[in-house]
């Protein structure tokens, strides 16, 4: 395998492979017959200390498909287990992915460089190890949109078409996604470690996660319990943020939940159109397990599986270990409620924002109870009228500025609206706060599908527009009106998403 010349100076470490050999299978990417760069994330490249010009060159593209390795890189497929739709699979792992290694970004942080769709690994089971252009671009668009919305997530550096055909229902062009993450440690990584039956392996995964993500936990009396608490908190905050923007992950299996608190594995994910907690877009989620409104409960359920896997490290006595785990898990609900309530305040403009008012105001004139009541009534109107979630929230800014026409149109003359508006306006909601909390642009399902279909046919222009608009979701962009509008009712009614296979 050719190495890059030192002048191209990307060096990757192999921290994970060294620290956790029981979870790392050395492996190489399949050669891509005719690699062609479809999209490269120049902003992210710069953040990572990579030269976008180099990434566009043949040598850069070879790196992006795993055909050329930076000197010293030791790519591995990572082992993990996972509860999938409630059932436990002891051996999942990267069936079609590789951790190339970790790079140290200019800001000093360690970031995984990871390929998806790079060929079958020992974990591929019946899968072909490949990925199609559409789903890989989908992950690119969705993850970068989430990042622009301020939500912790893995990032997407590039998508490269491989020139290989991938057989799904039809033959599709194949691709590799190159992504970065603060790590790829998952709840399922800990479940796998526990499943080895070797407590030293379990301890090594926990110690590694602590060192990489929650170093303060090392000083705790029971570091593993402190790690568990940190994950509970970061996941409560994350899922609250999903809920606030109307994001539906779609496949919240424990192998798709990180210890870092980053959103990971964008498969059948989607954003809400009409507000309805029962919304499910994923074609495989027939029972609605991962419906929009279930997400906090599923996150808590997944965290209980994490605690079970870690129990031997909480206490030598099983009963005491369970008690400790339950005590920490009980923090999830209040933490989630607090994060959601704080976000809902901003969405309703009821937070006196230090940046706006020029002074930090502690304690708002609007009580938590009143915010909850206003939010609850607003969601009831959204549900009754099946109004578009994103644009209706955004129309509150104009309503606060005195023009409620868009809000009234969206809520279609709901009889409760007039009274609600009076009550809400009495609190003098701040439009600037809402402008920074309620996005204008989210990756709407019909726009994503349109861009992916064009890209699959070789036209990358709609994808370029979409990613540009989504990179500044709170800022109105002239000429981008259609990106702010919901799909027609026919599209929304029949929309389904498919797992990224």
Among residues 255, 265, 285, 435, which one is catalytic?
Answer: 255
Q: Smallest gap, in angstroms, from Cβ of residue 253 to ligand AMP?
A: 6
Binding flag, residue 95, ligand AMP (CB under 6 A) = yes
Candidates 344, 406, 422, 421; CA nearest to 376 is 344
The three-state secondary structure class of 69 is strand
User: From ligand AMP, Mg ion, none, which one binds at residue 101 (CB under 5 to 8 Å depending on kind)?
Assistant: none
CA distances 346 to 27, 356, 359, 373, 407, Å, are: 47, 12, 17, 15, 17
Q: Is 255 tagged catalytic?
A: yes
Residue 322 CB coordination number (10 Å): 15
Of the residues 76, 92, 270, 274, which one makes contact with ligand AMP according to CB under 6 A? 92
Asked whether the beta carbons of 144 and 467 are under 8 A apart, the reply is yes
Q: Smallest gap, in angstroms, from Cβ of residue 225 to Mg ion?
A: 27
Asked whether the beta carbons of 230 and 129 are under 8 A apart, the reply is no
Of the residues 59, 124, 211, 421, which one makes contact with ligand AMP according to CB under 6 A? 124
Site for ligand AMP in 301-340 (CB under 6 A): none
* Residue 447 to residue 46: CA distance in whole angstroms: 28
Q: Would you give the distance in Å from CA 57 to the centre of its chain?
A: 29
Of the residues 15, 30, 94, 273, which one makes contact with ligand AMP according to CB under 6 A? 94
Measure the CA angle with vertex 127, ends 281 and 89; round to 5°: 75
Q: Smallest gap, in angstroms, from Cβ of residue 121 to ligand AMP?
A: 8
Give the DSSP letter string of 293-345: GGHHHHHHHHHHHHHHHHHHHH-SSHHHHHHHHHHHHTTHHHHHHHHHHHHHH
Of the residues 48, 69, 76, 130, which one makes contact with ligand AMP according to CB under 6 A? 130
CA distances 2 to 6, 8, 71, 333, 346, Å, are: 12, 13, 9, 51, 52
Please say which residue, 93 or 473, places its beta carbon nearer to ligand AMP.
Answer: 93
DSSP structural state of residue 256: G
Asked whether the beta carbons of 31 and 67 are under 8 A apart, the reply is yes
Binding flag, residue 265, Mg ion (CB under 5 A) = yes
Of the residues 256, 258, 295, 438, which one makes contact with Mg ion according to CB under 5 A? 256
Q: Smallest gap, in angstroms, from Cβ of residue 284 to ligand AMP?
A: 9
Site for ligand AMP in 234-273 (CB under 6 A): 251, 256, 265, 267
Asked whether the beta carbons of 273 and 492 are under 8 A apart, the reply is yes
Please say which residue, 76 or 313, places its beta carbon nearer to Mg ion.
Answer: 76
Binding flag, residue 139, Mg ion (CB under 5 A) = no
Of the residues 60, 66, 101, 129, which one makes contact with ligand AMP according to CB under 6 A? 129
Asked whether the beta carbons of 76 and 27 are under 8 A apart, the reply is yes
Which secondary-structure segment (H or E) carries 428? none
Binding flag, residue 112, ligand AMP (CB under 6 A) = no
Part of the chain binding ligand AMP (CB under 6 A), chosen from 95-103, 279-287, 320-328, 334-342: 95-103
User: From ligand AMP, Mg ion, none, which one binds at residue 95 (CB under 5 to 8 Å depending on kind)?
Assistant: ligand AMP
Binding flag, residue 430, ligand AMP (CB under 6 A) = no
Supply the residues annotated as catalytic.
Answer: 255
Q: Which residues bind Mg ion (CB under 5 A)?
A: 256, 265
Interface residue list for ligand AMP (CB under 6 A): 92-97, 120, 123-124, 127-130, 251, 256, 265, 267, 499-501
């Amino acid at each position: 395998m050719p190495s890059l010349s030192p002048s191209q100076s990307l060096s990757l470490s192999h921290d994970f492979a060294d620290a956790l050999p029981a979870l790392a299978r050395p492996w190489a990417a399949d050669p891509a017959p005719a690699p062609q760069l479809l999209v490269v994330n120049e902003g992210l490249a710069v953040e990572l200390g990579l030269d976008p010009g180099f990434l566009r060159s043949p040598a850069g593209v070879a790196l992006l498909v795993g055909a050329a390795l930076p000197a010293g890189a030791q790519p591995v497929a990572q082992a993990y287990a996972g509860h999938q739709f409630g059932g436990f699979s002891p051996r999942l792992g990267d069936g079609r992915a590789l951790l190339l290694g970790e790079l140290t970004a200019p800001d000093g942080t360690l970031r995984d460089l990871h390929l998806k769709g790079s060929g079958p690994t020992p974990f591929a089971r019946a899968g072909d190890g490949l990925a199609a252009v559409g789903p890989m671009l989908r992950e690119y668009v969705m993850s970068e949109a989430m990042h622009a919305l301020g939500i912790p997530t893995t990032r997407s550096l590039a998508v490269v078409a491989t020139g290989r055909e991938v057989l799904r229902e039809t033959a599709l062009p194949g691709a590799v996604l190159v992504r970065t993450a603060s790590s790829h440690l998952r709840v399922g990584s800990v479940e796998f470690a526990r499943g080895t039956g070797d407590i030293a392996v379990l301890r090594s995964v926990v110690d590694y996660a602590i060192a990489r993500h929650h170093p303060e936990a090392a000083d705790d009396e029971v570091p593993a319990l402190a790690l568990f608490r940190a994950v509970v908190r970061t996941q409560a905050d994350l899922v609250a943020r999903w809920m606030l923007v109307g994001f539906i992950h779609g496949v919240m299996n424990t192998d798709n939940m990180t210890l870092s608190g980053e959103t990971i594995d964008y498969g059948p994910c989607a954003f809400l159109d009409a507000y309805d907690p029962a919304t499910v877009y994923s074609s495989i989620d027939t029972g609605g397990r991962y419906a929009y409104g279930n997400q906090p409960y599923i996150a808590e359920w997944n965290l209980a599986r994490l605690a079970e896997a870690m129990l031997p490290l909480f206490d030598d006595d099983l009963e005491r270990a369970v008690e400790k785990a339950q005590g920490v898990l009980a923090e999830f609900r209040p933490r989630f409620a607090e994060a959601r309530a704080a976000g809902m305040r901003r969405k309703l403009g009821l937070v006196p924002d230090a940046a706006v008012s020029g002074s930090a105001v502690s304690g708002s004139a609007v009580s938590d109870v009143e915010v909850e009541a206003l939010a609850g009534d607003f969601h009831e109107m959204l549900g009754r009228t099946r109004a578009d979630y994103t644009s209706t929230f955004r129309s509150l800014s104009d309503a606060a500025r005195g023009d409620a026409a868009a809000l009234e149109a969206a809520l279609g003359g709901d009889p409760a609206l007039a009274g609600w508006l009076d009550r809400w306006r009495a609190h003098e909601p701040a439009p600037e706060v809402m402008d920074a909390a309620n996005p204008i642009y989210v990756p709407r399902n019909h726009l994503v599908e349109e861009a992916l279909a064009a890209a699959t046919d070789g036209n990358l222009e709609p994808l370029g527009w979409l990613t540009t608009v989504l990179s500044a979701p709170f800022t109105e962009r002239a000429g981008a009106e259609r990106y702010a509008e919901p799909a027609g009712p026919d599209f929304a009614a029949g929309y389904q998403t498919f797992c990224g296979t």
